[in-house]
Structure 1
């Protein structure tokens, strides 16, 4: 990986141009934010492995969407109550 990629990702995220995947599982109800990525293609190349990893935890369903936005912590959000 290029040494410039981390600062570039940080800049893209700070400006709201980074690509993120919002992944929601049900049973348990959790939202995961996966990113940031500089390009949509970069995200789409590694997203299947992330989804496969979540599938191994046996949620009842997994939904995801690809968004261009700015995110900060928390990147994992459990449903309340």
Structure 2
């Protein structure tokens, strides 16, 4: 990975033009944010590995959406608090 990628991702996120995936599960009810990415294609190329990791926790259901937004911590939000 180029040493410029991390600062570019941070800059894109700061301006609200970075690509993120919001992954929501039920049983347990958790929202995960995966990103930031500079391009949608970059996000899509990495997303399947992240979804496989989430699926290993065996949620009852899982859904995801791709968004262009600004995001900060927390990147994992549990409905339980």
Shorter chain as denominator, the TM-score bin is over 0.9
How far off is 1:78 after superposition?
0.3
Q: Over the residues paired in the alignment, what is the CA RMSD in angstroms?
A: 0.9
TM-superposition CA deviations, 1:9-38 (whole Å, max 9, x none): 000000001000000010000000000000
Alignment of 1:64-79 (within 5 A): 64-79=64-79
Unpaired runs of at least 5, structure 2: none
- What is the TM-score of this pair, normalised by structure 2? 0.97
Q: How many residues align?
A: 81
Q: Which residue of 1 is the match for residue 9 of structure 2? A: 9
Q: Which residue of 2 is the match for residue 59 of structure 1? A: 59
Unpaired runs of at least 5, structure 1: none
- What is the TM-score of this pair, normalised by structure 1? 0.97
Q: Which residue of 2 is the match for residue 36 of structure 1? A: 36
SS in 2 for 1:48: helix
Misfit runs of 4+, over 4 Å: none
